């Protein structure tokens, strides 16, 4: 057995409220525990989206009743909610800006809205963004002008990671994350899937893009799943929504890369524990850890996953390294394939620690 601290996934879509048939706080957080994750941050592009005190409180009440692991909840940035969002900032994981086309209705198209959010959102709270290509360059300009940190989600392309690398070199306060499907899948892999099942945002990129991510691991602050479950019926339909389930398979994929000497244990801890805690001011989870059987080899299979949607883009991939036991606050919450935590066991990390 090897031991990890309780890992943190700062980017998951738990689909509640509004699309509980895909996932909810109970199933999504049980899947997190099965993947060695003890804290998740839920994204705000729900139905209705999480934009203000009322919608945040509704989502928080659902999480409080259902979550099996600890959690935070993002607020979404919309065109005209800068002041409303700022009023709830002390309870939120951060503010999420959708600056490129994505799943949902929260696309921010006007620069004046960017300005409103940068001016009203407290500096003690993270700004997190879906920003690609030219939009990424524009956001880095905002970070420089306002001299405040921004965190870039799911970086997938060579020119993006190199731009962030240069921005860091020049002192712009930017951090970033990469998703496992961009580390372990390319557009060539997507060609071997049904077209809808390969749909993800940002898209699967080229082998050259993927190699650039691996070559610049020191630039990448966090690894986050971007767990975005949709049913197979939806993915196989005529208008497949983008997104992969992933909160449960991220750590197994990284453990397998560790066995292949592509990553060190310390890299995983840095990018899924140390850096998320620092960037998002996450309080300590006392007496919390994950036990891994590093010798156990098995295949990832959708029907055996805890997520409601029961599929994975890594179907049939053999990995080495199995989550055997997860302990939170001294209590065993997952062991040998069984989630032992009751819904409602998870705590909102901001409730008693509003930074």
- Separation between Cα atoms, residue 332 and residue 284, nearest integer Å: 17
Query: What CATH number does residue 41 fall under?
Result: 3.20.20.140
d(CA 160, CA 299): 32
Residue 269 in domain: yes
Q: What is the DSSP letter of 304?
A: G
Q: Which domain holds residue 212?
A: 2-339
Residue 346 lies in a domain: no
Provide the residue-wise pLDDT of the chain in tens; the chain has 355 residues. 999 999 999 999 999 999 999 999 999 999 999 999 999 999 999 999 999 999 999 999 999 999 999 999 999 999 999 999 999 999 999 999 999 877 667 889 899 999 999 999 999 899 999 999 999 999 999 999 999 999 999 999 999 999 999 999 999 999 999 999 999 999 999 999 988 999 999 999 999 999 999 999 999 999 999 999 999 999 998 899 999 999 999 999 999 999 999 999 999 999 999 999 999 999 999 999 999 999 999 999 999 999 999 999 999 999 999 999 999 999 999 999 999 999 999 999 997 654 5
Say if 284 falls within a structural domain: yes
Helix (H, G, I), strand (E, B) or coil at 215: helix
Q: Look at the chain and report how many structural domains it folds into.
A: 1
Tell me the per-residue pLDDT of 287-305, one tens digit each, with 9 for 90 and over. Answer: 999 999 999 999 999 999 9
Q: Is 347 part of any domain?
A: no
Structure tokens at 219: 């630039």
Burial grade of 75 (CB within 10 A; 0-12, 13-18, 19 or more): buried
Pairing of strands 331-335, 338-339: antiparallel
* Of residues 284, 316, 249, 197, the one with CA closest to residue 9: 249
In a domain, 276, yes or no: yes
Distances (CA, A) of 27 to 22, 45, 74: 10, 18, 19
Domain for residue 353, yes or no?
Answer: no
Which DSSP helix (H) or strand (E) runs through 133?
helix 133-146
Residue 352 domain flag: no
* Cβ burial, residue 242 (10 Å; 0-12/13-18/19+): middle
Confirm if 166 and 136 have CB atoms less than 8 A apart. no
Whether 344 maps to a domain, the answer reads no
- pLDDT value at position 68? 98
**Do 67 and 60 touch, CB atoms closer than 8 A?**
no
pTM (2 decimals)?
A: 0.96
């Amino acid at each position: 057995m090897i031991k990890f601290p309780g890992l943190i996934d700062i980017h998951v879509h738990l689909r509640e409220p509004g699309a509980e048939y895909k996932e909810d706080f109970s199933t999504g957080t049980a899947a997190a525990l099965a993947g060695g994750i003890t804290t998740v941050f839920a994204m705000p592009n729900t139905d209705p989206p999480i934009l203000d005190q009322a919608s945040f409180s509704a989502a928080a009440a659902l999480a409080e009743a259902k979550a099996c692991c600890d959690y935070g909840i993002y607020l979404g940035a919309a065109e005209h909610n800068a002041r409303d969002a700022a009023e709830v900032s002390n309870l939120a994981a951060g503010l999420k800006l959708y600056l490129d086309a994505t799943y949902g209705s929260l696309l921010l198209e006007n620069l004046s809205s960017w300005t409103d959010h940068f001016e009203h959102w407290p500096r003690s709270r993270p700004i997190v963004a879906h920003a690609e290509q030219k939009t990424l360059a524009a956001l880095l300009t905002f970070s420089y002008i306002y001299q405040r940190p921004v965190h870039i989600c799911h970086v997938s392309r060579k020119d993006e990671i190199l731009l962030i690398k240069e921005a860091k070199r020049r002192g712009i306060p930017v951090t970033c994350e990469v998703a496992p499907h961009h580390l372990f899948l390319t557009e060539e892999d997507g060609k071997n899937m049904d077209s809808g099942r390969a749909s993800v945002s940002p898209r699967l990129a080229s082998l050259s893009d993927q190699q650039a991510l691996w070559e610049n691991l020191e630039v990448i602050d966090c690894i986050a799943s971007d767990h975005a479950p949709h049913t197979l019926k939806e993915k196989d339909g005529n208008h497949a929504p983008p997104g992969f389930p992933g909160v449960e398979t991220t750590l197994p994929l990284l453990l397998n890369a560790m066995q292949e000497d592509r990553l060190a244990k310390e890299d995983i801890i840095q990018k899924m524990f140390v850096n998320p805690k620092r960037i998002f001011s996450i309080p300590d989870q006392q007496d919390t850890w994950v036990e891994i059987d590093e010798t156990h080899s098995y295949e990832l299979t959708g029907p055996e996953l805890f997520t409601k949607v029961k599929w994975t883009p890594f179907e049939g991939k053999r990995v080495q390294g199995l989550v055997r036991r997860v302990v939170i606050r001294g209590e065993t919450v997952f062991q040998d394939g069984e989630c032992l935590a009751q819904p409602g066991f998870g705590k909102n990390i901001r409730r008693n620690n509003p930074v």
